[in-house]
């Protein structure tokens, strides 16, 4: 009985590792890590993987968030390269300016 449980556990582990190396598995792993990260929190970042090359697109508020998202993707198992298409869009510092008065 223990042998069957051990073999079953090994099969699940191998399947998990094998799936992680597919493009879909890589995308899932990167997204999961982005969501779990306190700085990035997957804020408006889309992840697409093709032939183990991850493309990150979307918007973040700071360069630090962009850098962290890229680091996370690069550190994910199975990723061969990362393409950065993230835009840094700082949060508005204050209120929008008032419109100019209409000409008489």
- Express as a percent the part of the chain with pLDDT over 90: 58
Q: What is the arithmetic mean of pLDDT over 6-28?
A: 65
The answer to whether 83 and 53 have CB atoms below 8 angstroms apart is yes
0.85 exceeded by pTM? no
CA distance 56 to 69: 8
If you classify domain 17-88 with CATH, what class do you get?
alpha beta
Average pLDDT, the chain: 80
Q: Which sequence spans correspond to the domains of the chain?
A: 17-88
Q: Is residue 55 predicted with pLDDT exceeding 80?
A: yes
- Round to the nearest angstrom and report the end-to-end CA distance of the chain: 91
Helix residue ranges per DSSP H, the chain: 2-20, 23-36, 63-74
């Amino acid at each position: 009985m223990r042998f069957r449980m051990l073999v079953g556990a090994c099969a699940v582990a191998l399947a998990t590792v094998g799936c992680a190396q597919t493009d879909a598995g890589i995308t899932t792993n990167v997204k999961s890590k982005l969501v779990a990260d306190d700085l990035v929190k997957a804020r408006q970042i889309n992840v697409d993987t093709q032939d183990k090359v991850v493309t990150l697109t979307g918007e973040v508020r700071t360069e630090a968030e962009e850098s962290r998202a890229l680091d996370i993707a690069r550190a994910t198992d199975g990723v061969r390269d990362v393409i950065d298409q993230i835009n840094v869009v700082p949060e508005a510092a204050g209120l929008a300016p008032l419109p100019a008065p209409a000409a008489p």
